[in-house]
Structure 1
Amino acid sequence: MESPLVTTEWLANHVDQPDLFLLDVSVDNVVGKEPIVYEELIIIPGSYKVSIDHELSDTETAGIHVFPKVKQIQQVAQKLGLTPKSMIVLYDDQGIYSAPRAWWIFKSYGFERVFILDGGLPKWQAEGRATAANHLEPNSQSGDSTYERNPVAVKSSKDVLSNIDSEESTVIDVRAEARFYGKAPEPRPGVRSGHIPKSCNLPFMNVLTSDGLTFKSVDELKALFDAQNFSQNASFIFSCGSGMTACIMLVAAIVAGYQNVSLYDGSWAEWGADASLPIEL
């Protein structure tokens, strides 16, 4: 699979490309890492804003960041004039945080040329590149493409529960170690502490550089996964608090050469809130 990442240098050289759509998919609520706080809106010039919380989440279904329905993808595509073959570059204002989530959404719905800006807005700014204060206003109502979600891209709690016995996939929980072992309280009320039985813990910050802004190198990511003794054909289900940071680890696995990856969309916010589901500490 082609790398899901592009560099700030690459974007600077291609940002004016006519068929490129630059999407700001930053979120307001950052959990699991110290957020970068901005006093005013700063963006990369030529960006459209797409909201993960509203446009790319199923707000009609109970839960946090529920994977969007087909009709929502169609609405976003029509608003911006996207097609499954459009070149899309996604970034967020934390470096690497919410862009991997948006990437997995677009990829799961069949978009072929979608990429994550490694380092996002912070790296772009740090390099002294031009910024802007307003997003572009979409003016397209075109696009008659049809979309269908890859059925293996997203797992339900039922799938994960069944996997405890079958062990067909390794469930990787990317929350901090203290939350995984129930030694730190969950940030959401009504959610139990602990983890999914037989899951393993690999905190998402482990795949990012020390400043938390970019992914580690390909060799470093391969070494990290190799240290877990995973086979190259291993199948993974990634989980976190609400399905956001799990996608960071999912992308890291793809960069490291793994292909059989999926997301437990409900993640611990769903599992920990359901007393009928088993937990371990």
Structure 2
Amino acid sequence: MKITKKSICLAVVLITGLLTFSACSKKDAKKTEKENVSIQTISTDKVKDKMKDSSYVIVDTRINDAFNGWKLDGVKRGGHIEGAVDFSANWLKVKAENKDKTLDEALKTKKITSDKNIVLYDANGKDSKEVAKYLSDKGFKNLYTYDVKEWAKDESLPMKKYDDYQMIVPAKVVKDVIDGKTPETFKKDKKVKIVEVSWGEEKTSYAKGHVPTSFHVNTDIIEPPTKNPPQWMLASDDKLTKFAKDYGFTKDDAVIVTGEEPMAAYRLAVILRYMGVEDVRVLNGGLTAWKLAGYKAETESHKATKVKDFGAKIPVNGDLIDTIEEAKVGLSKPNEYTLVDNRTWDEHIGKITGYSYHKKKGRIPGSVYGYAGKGDSYSLDYYRNIDKTMRNKDEILALWKSQGIDTNKHLAFMCGSGWRAAEVLTYSNVMGLENTSLYSDGWIGWSNDPKNPVETGDPKKK
């Protein structure tokens, strides 16, 4: 064979092509292998057998409302497999600062580690695969998926749900209400009012997007601002009565409260319960949950229809909110009553005030640190998942146990002026705790009176 310059060039081209093809094939194979996570399905009998096996972790990957108790995606029974932890696929969709760190902390808290066998269950065939992909990318190997509908249809198999799970609702339920349906736990033929609440006028957040059909409530109405000193305290019962009439609330209403910031929604929800509205619920996760569910927010403004009479003398449920004097009486009975301080640790020890408009630092003597957020006074990281939904009950109880908070006592929750504590109070009610209240005036109301005693520093070092 005669070797020419042309044949040499052709050989080089062929060899180069083969090498390129080989490299691309390997690259594509790796890509395909990564995209198609190899996970096994697991049977009901195997799940049942491994429930108490310490080498297995059973993980609920559905939205937290399903874990709490709502029957979603066709399950026969609501709630979660007894002993399961939660790690929702929804959390992977959230855009949040320090997201990776937050999710890593969640995995650690729930003991979802790479040396364990991880059983991921859902009811829609999607959530478990998304979490499996996430874990596989982090190096997890022993992953299994399971359809919880199989478990739920067998009444002999244990499932757990929170006693009053219905107090916080999923976006799907709100959408069903808007569409004229009657979801579980709602009364047929009873119109449900949907309220969006935030601080400020409609233009501050409501006008930018809200749950369809909702009307807006400015928190300044239920917490009239003062100038000297600047503060936002709960309105008088007379003003709340006027508020009820102006915004069309009656004692027989069913209301769902939502908003961009869930804290504001919980604040109004507790006040409506205090006033005497029969059925008050909150959209779990607020507007974030609505959007994660794939629903669109609207910008059309809706107005409430006034009523002539609330239907009862406000407050109907006066014991739900404590005054300063009632808090003092409670603090005098430490064997029966605990004042839970839901502020940051730095606020609790008097290192910071937590508010730009309030300068006094410290805590109420006898109050017990009950966690709140990790940052400023507008955060509740210790009580929320990354998608702003309620945190797992067992994890909340573990926080309280670490501070010696006894749930057999009356628990009165407080913060600066009621927002954070209202959310925590509602979560305690969802969990089934009934001997509870909100000390609404909080640290700001207490410290405005120079006659009231104040403490600073680490209480454990006193």
Q: For the superposition of Structure 1 and Structure 2, which TM-score range results when normalised by the shorter chain? A: 0.7 to 0.9
Q: What do the CA deviations read for 1:55-88 (whole angstroms, capped 9, x no partner)?
A: x235689873322333334333333433212110
Displacement of 1:53 in angstroms is 1.2
Q: Which amino acid aligns with 1:210?
A: I
Q: What do the CA deviations read for 1:182-222 (whole angstroms, capped 9, x no partner)?
A: 122442455321111121112232111134x1111344334
Task: Look up the match of 1:162.
Answer: 329
Task: Look up the match of 1:235.
Answer: 410
Task: Look up the match of 1:184.
Answer: 352
Task: Look up the match of 2:395.
Answer: 220
1:207 to 383, 392, 398: 383
Task: Look up the match of 2:429.
Answer: 254
Displacement of 1:130 in angstroms is 1.8
Task: Look up the match of 2:178.
Answer: 15
CA distance in 1, matches of 2:219, 2:370: 24
1:49 to 212, 216, 219: 216
CA distance in 1, matches of 2:256, 2:371: 25
Query: How do 1:70-219 residues align onto structure 2 when only pairs under 5 Å count?
Result: 70-94=237-261, 96-143=262-309, 145-149=311-315, 150-167=317-334, 168-189=336-357, 191-204=359-372, 205=380, 206-211=382-387, 213-219=388-394
For the 8 Å contact 1:52–1:65, the answer to whether it is kept is no
For the 8 Å contact 1:190–1:273, the answer to whether it is kept is no
Aligned residues: 271
SS of residue paired to 1:25: strand
Q: Which amino acid aligns with 1:277?
A: N
For the 8 Å contact 2:215–2:304, the answer to whether it is kept is yes
TM-score by length of 2: 0.53
Displacement of 1:19 in angstroms is 0.2
**For structure 1, which runs of at least 5 residues remain unmatched after alignment?**
30-36
CA distance in 2, matches of 1:57, 1:42: 24
Matched-pair identity in %: 22
Q: Which amino acid aligns with 1:156?
A: T
CA distance in 2, matches of 1:67, 1:135: 26
Aligned-residue RMSD, C-alpha: 2.7
CA distance in 1, matches of 2:302, 2:230: 30
CA distance in 1, matches of 2:274, 2:308: 21
Change beyond 3 A, Cα 1:88–1:63: farther
Change beyond 3 A, Cα 1:122–1:241: same
CA distance in 1, matches of 2:306, 2:358: 43
Change beyond 3 A, Cα 1:225–1:257: farther
Change beyond 3 A, Cα 1:80–1:183: closer
Q: What do the CA deviations read for 1:97-150 (whole angstroms, capped 9, x no partner)?
A: 111111111111211111010011122123321211133123444545123313
Displacement of 1:14 in angstroms is 1.4
Q: What do the CA deviations read for 1:221-280 (whole angstroms, capped 9, x no partner)?
A: 344445545444320111111111111111121122211111222111122232211111
Q: What do the CA deviations read for 1:8-30 (whole angstroms, capped 9, x no partner)?
A: 1111111233601000112249x
Moved more, 140-149 or 231-240: 140-149
CA distance in 2, matches of 1:91, 1:190: 27
TM-score by length of 1: 0.85
For the 8 Å contact 2:414–2:421, the answer to whether it is kept is yes
- Bigger helix fraction: 2
CA distance in 1, matches of 2:206, 2:175: 25
Change beyond 3 A, Cα 1:41–1:239: same
